Structure 1
Amino acid sequence: MSKTANPYDLLVIGSGAAGLSVALGVLAQKPKARVAVLSKNDLSEGSTKYAQGGIAAVLDAADSTESHIADTLNAGAGICVEPAVRSVVEGAREAIDWLIANGVIFDQEDGGLHLTREGGHSHRRIVHSADATGRAVQTTLEARIRESGAELFEFHNAVDLIREKLPQGRRGRCIGAYALDRRDGRVHRFAAKTVVLATGGASRVYLYSSNPDGSTGDGIAMAWRAGCRVANMEFSQFHPTCLYHPKAKSFLVTEAVRGEGGLLLRPDGTRFMDDYDPRAELAPRDIVARAIDDVMKRMGCECVYLDISHKPAEFITSHFPTVHAEALKFGIDMTREPLPVVPAAHYTCGGVLTDLAGRTDVDNLYAVGEVSFTGLHGANRMASNSLLECLVLGAAAARDIIAKTGAIAEIPELAPWDETWVTDSDEEVVVAHNWDELRRFMWDFVGIVRSNKRLERAKHRVRLLLDEIAEYYGSFRVTNDLLELRNLAMVADLIIKSALARRESRGLHYTIDFPTPDTVAPPQNTILVPKTFSNRRVT
């Protein structure tokens, strides 16, 4: 099946807050634009839906944008790009107003928005919808996109981006993508004048993750293969508190539990965060995650505990209904007892290098949200800045795309997907085995605490896996599992390369070989350049 007869004006790959913000932003100004949205699963099944805490925005007279900027720079451990931080923070109020105008309902207090506080923030500035803000945002934007006239392709997993072929073997602008329809196993062509990657992060590269199963680094891997630079892939954020239970699958316990007075306890009931940081439970996530990891290793325990049972039961159930209900499924009543918690991979702070309009190194290709690197997060993302980035930079990308409307040349016919030399696989166990091996050695060797020896071991293993996956990919018809494994292995390689290149500990990257930040050389972002790097550079 070909979509090239009448190319789309815009192809958005990803259906979370970032992708839908771009699509809706373009359609608001250009209602007749042909817009396609690809979603790997059903439209709602992405990381946005699972974001519990909220959206950081300066809305209190006692707060200020300068304070929010300072908090973000501090959490980023010296390598945030300040213009990016300022741009996103200053766009927060407009983003919240846009969500409210589209129907998102946030918690109210005394006639205004209720603001909570999370780790790293010096003020209450988290706008939220109970403890299910992401779900409120996702369901509202999904409703808007379904009534917008956009063409929606659910259960379509993008395989690769397509770049225009130029003389002398050069590659030009992005003109579309191939995507696997997971329902019939066929690969389709989608031609488009502009393509936006909004595929989220890559936290499923680790054995334990708070992310949904689809967070496999697809956009980062596709952009790298297409010739885009990536940056700061060594900074994988581990959320300190995910529910620990053999039957609980990656359930995140929101940061706001600590923000509202929750205490972290050893198995013997004693507090420990005061031993690691003067901010205690309100320290940034990297510090809290390392502290929990240290306690677990020192004591040989499988988890620590998060206790907010000293608060009134009504306060807990009204502020944290989602967490309370989920814990009850496993026989844990957080109004009466502490929650068992462990760290889990949560957010990819690095990604595809972009400017503040979402433009990548490849013409007509944008990246927005967790898939991208703008410089906002630096070496550690501060809580509730992620949805904010999706919204502010989604709107910026939409404005840039609209400004270019009419100036983009016609799209040539795309070559059909070639399956001439491949067959159906009769060894799916190979994919399952490699998937398991990859995530286990990434957790063991490239996790919360690293060393050169561990990283070298991981480097050797991922190279073997990449060769094996490439051979398998070239021999058999693609499946969803194979595509995700291929992308995860490539992203793992980028993470390992970046971690080996940083010879210091900073933010989320902690290595026992270089346990302190480098105070001699100015702090730098880690930028990797593919062999197929485009001539155009993001400025």
Structure 2
Amino acid sequence: MTAWEAEADLVVVGSGVAGLTAALDAAEAGLRVVVVTKDAADAGSTRWAQGGVAVVVGDVPGDSVEAHVADTLAAGGGLSDAGAVAEIIAEGPAAVARLRARGADFDPGPGGRLARTREGGHSAFRVVHAGGDATGAEIERALVTATTDRRLPLLTGHVAVDALRDERGAVSGLAVLDDAGRPGVLRAPAVLLATGGYGQLYASTTNPETATGDGIALALRAGATAADLEFVQFHPTVLYTEDLLAGSSNRRAPAVGRRPLVTEAVRGEGAVLLDRAGRRFMTAVHPLADLAPRDVVAAAITRTLADTGADCVHLDARGIEGFPQRFPTVYAACRAAGIDPVREPIPVTPAAHYACGGVVTDRHGRTGVPGLYAAGEVARTGLHGANRLASNSLLEGLVVGARVAHAVAADRCVPRPATAEVLAPSPAVALAPRPVVQRAMTGAAGIGRDAAGLAAASDVVEAHTALGVPVDRAGVEDAALTLLAQAVLAAAGTRTETRGCHVRTDFPERDDVWQRQSLVVALDPDGRPVVRDETAAVGAA
């Protein structure tokens, strides 16, 4: 029994860069659009993005779209879809131009050009930014303002529970719960998932509390597949602080929850990483040293911590002129923690940051379920492969968000046969306590994994799992995290090699038997995630 029902042509789940770009473009194409988000409109991951948007506009001597493509493929560790990479990157300039036309204000550079910075894995200064290190916040502001100005319906405080489907399995709507647990239904022939990633699987992450994998879980339950879930990117430089342990006046432990990011652009502007003895260690690891791809830097920091017994390494940014003005967000976070980056190195450590995999889609956001689309971090388009190149995420959201809008409009022109009554999904799902899931994943599925640890973590999650019916947002999130934990552990246990941000200590070498093999995860008849004996489609148009 639902408390209310409404109708639309397209329901967008999520109010970040991908979701709002798609919503605005679809509305301009004449579609009736409703945007649904479980929190406030700006509470997702987009506003926390600091570095910028990687894009080749053509005004940086020596840089090119081809060079950006090459850098992306190199970072992807052989698992990127070369066709998807080329198409998405080529459409970046137009996507950024549309964003600026919608009011986004990027930092100006000399000669009337946009200012640029460089981040890890990039061969050129091609990252445009806003507010110094507040690019995501500016993009979110501009898109929310444009959505409000256009008076698009924005349903906040409503969590997506399941996609409703007809007897053929095609999408016919979305079931939601509001903050009081009241159910509602949005009937629509198209649903776009733009819900972000699953950083909250881990005890320490750069992600906000909303990043609980809801979209991937919903897509799997609807019959879609996911791929590359084992590739969880850990950002190398997250501000290291400590929390006072409960019941103790002097014992402390590393802080958990969402941790302040120290953008990679700080290293792009000249900062270097130091071990506890004050020695640079990245120069012996990679030709790009401190600007190596993220997976390389994060793994090197982890090894350094293990070798030295330290809790953190340090990022020396004292040589950056005007640090407080160039990086106001980082500076404020450091000062709040009692650190002055102008006068002392910043203590940093890796933390869960970005899901390189997600719901399998084509290059226009279509999943294997008719009427179900995905864009942004929730999706696996083939752009990122085994490791995302820095600042390609906002780019992907802008480009694929626009592509989804066009795909939905085009797909409406293809008539669907008449169908019977909507089939309601089964309400019972696997649920495990969130702290149990986070401890298991942090201990066994972070940087450095092995078969014994992955199996033990899987056993722990299984032992604490029971079937239940989510009745509120917390329940929906816990169900998603439980399913994602099972899926990530299954994929990570299956991939017996080290590639990109998947590091197996018991299989430390890259094994090119796995080259271009993306592991596909689907639900079995009992609703459990399993790795299929197939690989994800590569090169889908």
Aligned match for 2:283, one of 274, 290, 293 = 274
1:300 to 1:81, Cα distance in 2 relative to 1, 3 A: same
Please say if residues 104 and 138 of structure 2, whose CA atoms lie closer than 8 Å, have aligned partners that are also in contact: yes
Residue 69 of structure 2 aligns with an amino acid whose one-letter code is: I
Aligned match for 2:137, one of 135, 138, 157 = 135
Please say if residues 20 and 142 of structure 1, whose CA atoms lie closer than 8 Å, have aligned partners that are also in contact: yes
Please say if residues 20 and 143 of structure 2, whose CA atoms lie closer than 8 Å, have aligned partners that are also in contact: yes
Aligned residue for 1:172, secondary structure, equals coil
104-113 vs 454-463, greater mean Cα deviation: 454-463
Please say if residues 49 and 137 of structure 1, whose CA atoms lie closer than 8 Å, have aligned partners that are also in contact: yes
Quote the residue 1:425 is aligned against.
none
Instruction: Give the whole-Å Cα distance in 2 for the aligned partners of 1:200 and 1:27.
Output: 22
Aligned: 1:298 with 2:307:
yes
Please say if residues 191 and 414 of structure 1, whose CA atoms lie closer than 8 Å, have aligned partners that are also in contact: no
Q: Map 1:133-532 to 2 at 5 A.
A: 133-164=135-166, 166=167, 171-182=168-179, 184-246=180-242, 249-312=258-321, 315-409=322-416, 434-466=433-465, 468=466, 470=467, 473-474=468-469, 478-520=471-513, 522-531=515-524
Residue 21 of structure 1 aligns with an amino acid whose one-letter code is: T
350-359 vs 140-149, greater mean Cα deviation: 140-149
Quote the residue 2:82 is aligned against.
82
Instruction: Give the whole-Å Cα distance in 2 for the aligned partners of 1:278 and 1:290.
Output: 15
Please say if residues 7 and 411 of structure 1, whose CA atoms lie closer than 8 Å, have aligned partners that are also in contact: no
243-252 vs 277-286, greater mean Cα deviation: 243-252
Q: Map 1:40-119 to 2 at 5 A.
A: 40-59=38-57, 60-110=60-110, 111-119=112-120
**1:381-439 deviation line (CA, Å, top 9, x unaligned):** 000000000010111111111123354558876578999x9xxxxxxxx98x8211110
Instruction: Give the whole-Å Cα distance in 2 for the aligned partners of 1:359 and 1:497.
Output: 25
Instruction: Give the whole-Å Cα distance in 1 for the aligned partners of 2:477 and 2:490.
Output: 20
**1:237-292 deviation line (CA, Å, top 9, x unaligned):** 00001111136741111010011101111122221111322211100001111111
Instruction: Give the whole-Å Cα distance in 1 for the aligned partners of 2:518 and 2:289.
Output: 28
Quote the residue 2:250 is aligned against.
none
**1:198-253 deviation line (CA, Å, top 9, x unaligned):** 00001110111000011000000111111111101110000001111136741111
1:412 to 1:140, Cα distance in 2 relative to 1, 3 A: farther
Cα drift, residue 378 of structure 1: 0.6
When normalised by structure 1's length, the TM-score is 0.91
Cα drift, residue 481 of structure 1: 1.6
**1:88-123 deviation line (CA, Å, top 9, x unaligned):** 110110011011101101011121111110000000
Cα drift, residue 374 of structure 1: 0.8
Instruction: Give the whole-Å Cα distance in 1 for the aligned partners of 2:147 and 2:306.
Output: 47
Instruction: Give the whole-Å Cα distance in 1 for the aligned partners of 2:489 and 2:25.
Output: 36
When normalised by structure 2's length, the TM-score is 0.90
Instruction: Count how many residue pairs are aligned between Structure 1 and Structure 2.
Output: 511
Instruction: Give the whole-Å Cα distance in 1 for the aligned partners of 2:309 and 2:295.
Output: 21
Aligned residue for 2:169, secondary structure, equals strand
Please say if residues 13 and 195 of structure 1, whose CA atoms lie closer than 8 Å, have aligned partners that are also in contact: yes
Please say if residues 78 and 515 of structure 2, whose CA atoms lie closer than 8 Å, have aligned partners that are also in contact: no
Instruction: Give the whole-Å Cα distance in 1 for the aligned partners of 2:496 and 2:355.
Output: 20
Cα drift, residue 330 of structure 1: 1.7
Residue 285 of structure 1 aligns with an amino acid whose one-letter code is: R
Residue 449 of structure 2 aligns with an amino acid whose one-letter code is: R
Residue 486 of structure 2 aligns with an amino acid whose one-letter code is: D
Quote the residue 1:36 is aligned against.
34
Please say if residues 269 and 320 of structure 2, whose CA atoms lie closer than 8 Å, have aligned partners that are also in contact: no
Instruction: Give the whole-Å Cα distance in 2 for the aligned partners of 1:84 and 1:415.
Output: 34
1:450 to 1:377, Cα distance in 2 relative to 1, 3 A: same
Please say if residues 188 and 417 of structure 1, whose CA atoms lie closer than 8 Å, have aligned partners that are also in contact: no
Instruction: Give % identity.
Output: 42
1:238 to 1:521, Cα distance in 2 relative to 1, 3 A: closer
Cα drift, residue 172 of structure 1: 1.6
Aligned residue for 1:342, secondary structure, equals strand
Aligned residue for 2:352, secondary structure, equals strand
Cα drift, residue 319 of structure 1: 1.2
Quote the residue 2:246 is aligned against.
none
Cα drift, residue 465 of structure 1: 3.3
Residue 472 of structure 2 aligns with an amino acid whose one-letter code is: T
Please say if residues 191 and 411 of structure 1, whose CA atoms lie closer than 8 Å, have aligned partners that are also in contact: no
1:157 to 1:267, Cα distance in 2 relative to 1, 3 A: same
Instruction: Give the whole-Å Cα distance in 1 for the aligned partners of 2:414 and 2:148.
Output: 28
